[in-house]
Amino acid sequence: MLSRRPDAGFTLVELLIVVVLLGVVVAPAATAVVTAVRTSDATSARLELSHDAQQSAAFFAQDVATTGLRDYSGEITSGVVNFFPSVQLDAAYNAGGQVCGTAATPVSVLRLLSDDWDTSTPAATRRTAVVAYYLAGTELHRLRCLGSAPVSDSVVAHHVDPATPTVTCSTTCTSADVPLWVKLVFTAASDRADPYPVTLFGQRRQS
C-alpha cells in the first residue's frame, strides 16, 4: 500500500520565484509612489509661489494707482497742482525727508509716495502716505506709513531671489512728472519648484 507524501511546504525554487515576482511588481509601484510624492510636493510649492504672486500683484496695483505727492507750495499751472517726485528707487527709510521705518529698515527696492487726507477733524489735514517694498533675506515686505507712523508691515512674497528685482516706469521713475505706470519684476526661487517669474504692474489713477 502506497504511503501519502507529507505536505512539505514551498520548495526553495518556488520561494525564489516568488521573491523575483515581488521585486518585479513592487519596484515599479515604489517608483510610481515616489514620483507621485515629488510631483505633489512640486505642485504645492508652485501653488505657494503663485499665491504670493497674486497677493503681491493686488497690493502693488492698489499702491501705484494712488501714487502722487502734490506740491501745494509751488505754482499752479492751468489749474493743476504739480507733483513732487513720488517714486523712489533704492531708497533709505528717510529718503527725500519722508520717513517710513527706522534706521534698521532695509533699503527699499521701491517707495511710492502719495497724499492722504485725515478727515477725522473738521479741518482736514494732509499727510504723506509712503509704501515701501523692501527685501529681508528672501522675503518681499510691504511697509506702509502715514506721516512717519508705520501702519502695517507684511510679507507679500516669499523665496524671492535677491538678485532679480528690477523696477521700470513709463517715464523716468524719479521725475516730478510722475510716471503713468510702474512695474516691479522679480523671480521667486524655491528648492521644490522651478524658478517662478513674477511681474507686478500698476497704473496711476491721478492726472
pLDDT tens sequence for the chain (207 residues): 555 555 556 677 766 776 777 767 765 655 555 444 444 555 676 778 888 889 999 999 999 999 999 988 876 666 778 899 999 999 999 999 999 999 999 999 999 999 998 888 788 888 899 999 999 999 999 999 998 899 999 999 999 999 999 999 999 999 999 999 999 999 998 777 788 899 999 999 865
How confident is the model at residue 9, as a pLDDT? 64
Is 0.75 topped by the overall pTM?
A: yes
How confident is the model at residue 37, as a pLDDT? 43
Total domains in the chain come to 1
HSE toward the beta carbon, residue 33, CA cutoff 13 A: 6
* Residue 116 is assigned to a structural domain of this protein: yes
* Residue 31 is assigned to a structural domain of this protein: no
Q: Which domain holds residue 53?
A: 43-203
* Residue 110 is assigned to a structural domain of this protein: yes
Work out the angle at residue 202's Cα, subtended by the Cα atoms of residues 201 and 207, and round it to the nearest 5 degrees.
150
Distance set, CA 7 to CA 11, 13, 18, 77 (Å): 11, 16, 19, 109
Dihedral sign from CA coordinates of 5, 10, 12, 14: positive
